[in-house]
Chains A and B, each alone.
Chain A
Amino acid sequence: MSLPSIFVLARSVREPTSLLSLSVGEWDLLIRQGRNADLLGLIAAQCDATGVLDLVPAGPKMHLVSALNMALRQQIEVRREVQHIHRALVAAKVPLVLLKGAAYVVAGLPAGRGRLVSDVDILVPQDSLNEVESALMIHGWQSDGHSDYDQRYYRKWMHELPPMRHFKRGTSIDVHHAILPLTARLRPSSNKLLQAARPIGSNPEVKVLAPVDMVLHSATHLFHEGELQLGLRGLADLDRLLRDFGSSNGFWDCLVPRAVELELSRPLFYALRYARFLLSTPIPEAVLRSSAEAPGGRRNGLALAAMDALFLRALRPAHVTCSDRWTPLARSTLYLRGHWLRMPPLLLARHLGHQAFVALRPLPTE
């Protein structure tokens, strides 16, 4: 079974100099797939850092520069937004722990270079959720969840508050109190994550997850979500984090044990498997082996073959040049799987029934 190649895109993510030998047709494909996968900013940032950008032909260069400008702009805004959030949380006496894109950018990690970040995700202890929410409301954020059902859905079952939007700046924040829904089968401990979080730079009140936890959260987010439209970008985040942290002492030794401790060996197994497969991420053989052998790590033969067939399709950019006839089925199966993992069957049936009812109902007229 051969799937459509994303070789040019995958290689450009890890080796910017490979861009210098692209043909016109390969450039065309790269810009299309990269734009679709939201990876042009990352590629452009690498080209910029290695001096390759000035050697890129004018046509594709325009798109790389454009994506880089957009990413740089968003990063300025994210940094400023984090300052605003910090000010709000100081009042609630809750430390600010950043997750995902905002964490990579504010911590200055390679994973943040050229990455688009449209909203800020934070992790707070569950028992300070009320204080955090009211502190944010006092400082101008309002809940985006419109219906009563949405509010109940988030508050009762999910791992985050309904997204909040700042009434003046229009910026958006997701407040998490766990990294998986309350109803999910896996229950990684948020307290352990919060305890291990580390300050960024000189300010002890703005933190990010510890390196191993950051990788585990990124993996969990990617492999438990049903929506993989930007799956390759999620995998590129993992690739960056692993390359970056992999060179520091002790990282690889801690990774699998920590995954076991947090009940996250399965998402870690997938993350390592597909990052290596699609992006050639360098991972020590011993780590691959122990992640497979960890309790709940590797799936058995047939199930794994099925997951390969699904993930290797859905993780490709959602673009016509990297899809085959089975791609739509793979995406919808993983969408259902995402829901399956996040809630028990009866609750799932009820939730999907409600969503279908809402979708079929005529829209209210303005």
Chain B
Amino acid sequence: MADARIRSSQLVNETTTEADAVAALTIGVSAALFALAVAAMFDQVSLTGTIAGAQTVTLLGGLLTLLGLTVIALGAGSRLGYVESTPDPSAGLVAGVGAAFPWALLGGSVASGVLGLGTGGGLVGAVVVGGVALVATVIPREDVGSTVPLGGLLLITGLVFATGVIGPGWVWELGWEQTAAISAQFLIPVATLSTALYGGWAAAKAYGGFGARGRHMGAYVLVYLNAISIVAFLFILVAFVVIQGVPGLLTGFEIGIGAGPEISLLGVSVTLPVSIPFVMNGVALLNEFQGVLPAIVGTFWLVIGAVLLAVPLGVGAAVFLTEYAERGRFTQVVEVATNGLWSTPSIVFGLFGFAFLIPRFGNGKSLLSGMITLGFMLLPLVVITSRESMLSVPDEYRDASAALGVSKWQTIRSVVLPAALPGVVTGVILGVGRIAGETAPILLTMAGGTFVPDTQTVDVIGSFQFISTPPFVANPALLEATSALPYQLFALITAGVGLGSNVSDPNGFRWATALVLLIVVLSFYAIGIVTRYYFRRRLQHT
């Protein structure tokens, strides 16, 4: 893979020049502006306030202007031969389109908004200005083409902000029937953010001395930034839910001997040493603290039911497809069908369960319908992952086993399945994490009211019974509507203000529900990922 190649080779020993230092500094300024713009977008930095003694907008504008001037200077320095560089004859069409896009947006907005030419005039303005920017990027030598148009954009944006033409109070009414306006609160951070990105890109090209190396630098800056942003986004998302959810989760939290509720395990009753009412209570009139226990139990049974249905079916189908069937029309049809099932929207599964399962299980929403619907959703994932792991079992294993004179089925049972087990297990765990958080299918097939009282916490095992009329086996718990964590969260969101009569702190309750759901789902993922590492390491060691 990538690390097998030689990553870099120092053919020419260059010392860092002043131009390189300036370019590196410019990249740094762009990064700072980018961060500042993100902070301003989410009101972490006030646009009307001041940073280090300067008005925020003026500071942003000033930095953008400076950035623009530096970018132009880097290009000009290279063109006039002050800086050693290896530019191509043209910046290329991709860079041209990249530069034309913001210019067209600018031109269109100015023509329709400032000059008042309307939608048609705006379009003409956008095409003309964008076209000019395209030509200005593509026609000159690369060092000019990839810096001057972008530097100019930065310069104009910066000056507009710095001189207060667009200040914190600026608003552009769009004049649409359903009113909407673009305010400075939105425009300034977004414009700063995108122009800073362009500035960073141009500076990175200059840092690489233009040409192939310059483009390499420019692209890598953007790709790395993207990867970092995705990871940062994930962390912020999870951290946000945790911070918002923990207070609600821990209301009435107690620790100490005898603090928790009594539970009986295998006939022995134990008093838990901790009490977290939010996950140990349901909702009842007399409860001191309300909780979501019925929803947690509902999710638990839902997952068990779906796994019991989907895993045998999926593994069986995978065995047939990889071991018995020859590749042909039939396997192709099954493949298309499983991939089709995989991409079928979850709400369509819900509709299907509503039309197919509900009339067959007591004509009402029920836990059983929810289990089967989710099982159908899980099935394609199990088939796909099990098939992959069975295909990755080396054929030598099968040949060695066959050489011992055993039957095909014995080979499958004692060689293929054990070897493929890690992959299957990992796939199932990850799939379960996915379906445990699904709301749409159980919305139509299983879920009942917003709050489920303590007394309705389902007890599936305890309620099996035999009856004298067909179908002879009955389980009322399976045929009752119940709740599950994702549905509970949805119901809490849609219930709106009516929530206050049941729960003292509705918002805390919601966030805590979201947190519990996230913990349940992400722990499946964590277990799945850790299992994969464990098995992979073990494979490498033996």
User: Are both chains from one complex?
Assistant: no
